[in-house]
């Protein structure tokens, strides 16, 4: 069966939505980088009907994303684009907002650097980048469980938890305007294109 399920997506979708709603009132065209199972896209698009939600991911994740999209007849939710950081070109369509959840600690550091640079380059002035997941602050883990998770990630060949200061160095043209504490030792980082 192509439709996959993530318990962590199920757990965090409502807390994330509560933070997205007030911040996306004036936004119209959102690109989700790394749509994964497709659960977030379906849930958020349903509750943000004014916003065109464009999914994207590696091709092997497209069947699950499409299966979640097919469940509801949402006119504002788009089938996934093939978009792999470091391989594919930036989508050729209007985008004033980018959202990504739980991607930076999976990617290798050079891929995260490319992602931050692409978002900074292609967002319009005052555009938003909302980045959810576990992050370190000033070189320090925010919890013992995040330290253990980071060790597991690196053993699995993932890049590991990134430090916010590192992201700021890579995000030339983006300003970190909010750092929102979320459940399960996660953060929602809100970046705005300022130049």
Q: What string of pLDDT tens digits covers the 195 residues of the chain?
A: 589 999 999 999 999 999 999 999 999 999 999 999 999 999 999 999 999 999 999 999 999 999 999 999 899 999 999 999 999 999 999 999 999 999 999 999 999 999 999 999 999 999 999 999 999 999 999 999 999 999 999 999 999 999 999 999 999 999 999 999 999 999 999 999 997
- Angle (CA) 42-48-51 rounded to 5° is 95
Distance of CA 149 to the CA centre of its chain: 19
β-pairing, 97-101 with 128-133?
parallel
pLDDT at 1: 56
Strand partners for 31: 54, 98
Question: φ and ψ at 187, to 5 degrees?
Answer: -130, 155
Contact (CB, 8 A) for 158 and 106: yes
How large is the angle between the packed helices 39-47 and 7-23, nearest 10 degrees?
30
Distance CA 34, CA 84 (A): 8
The SS3 assignment for 191 reads: strand
Distance CA 159, CA 130 (A): 20
What does the buried/exposed string (b/e) look like for 123-133 if buried means 16 or more CB atoms within 10 Å of the residue's CB?
Answer: beeebbbbbbb
Choosing among 3.40.1280.10, 3.40.50.150, 1.10.357.10, 3.90.1410.10, the CATH entry for 7-193 is: 3.40.50.150
pLDDT at 123: 98
| CA-CA-CA-CA torsion sign (72, 74, 77, 79) | positive
Strands (E), the chain: 29-32, 52-57, 77-82, 97-101, 128-133, 174-182, 186-193
């Amino acid at each position: 069966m192509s439709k996959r399920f993530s318990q962590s997506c199920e757990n965090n979708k409502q807390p994330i939505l509560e933070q997205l709603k007030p911040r996306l009132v004036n936004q119209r065209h959102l690109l989700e980088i790394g749509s994964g199972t497709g659960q977030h896209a379906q849930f958020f698009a349903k509750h943000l009907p004014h916003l065109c939600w464009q999914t994207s991911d590696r091709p092997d994740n497209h069947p699950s994303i499409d299966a979640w999209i097919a469940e509801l007849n949402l006119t504002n939710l788009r089938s996934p684009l093939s978009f792999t950081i470091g391989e594919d070109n930036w989508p050729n369509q209007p985008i004033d907002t980018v959202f990504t959840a739980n991607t930076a600690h999976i990617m290798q550091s050079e891929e995260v650097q490319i992602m931050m640079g692409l978002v900074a380059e292609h967002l319009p002035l005052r555009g938003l980048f909302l980045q959810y997941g576990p992050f370190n602050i000033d070189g320090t883990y925010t919890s013992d469980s995040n330290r253990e998770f980071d060790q597991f990630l690196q053993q699995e060949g993932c890049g590991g938890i990134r430090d916010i200061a590192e992201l700021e160095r890579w995000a030339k043209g983006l300003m970190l305007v909010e750092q929102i504490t979320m459940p399960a030792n996660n953060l929602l980082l809100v970046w705005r294109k300022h130049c």
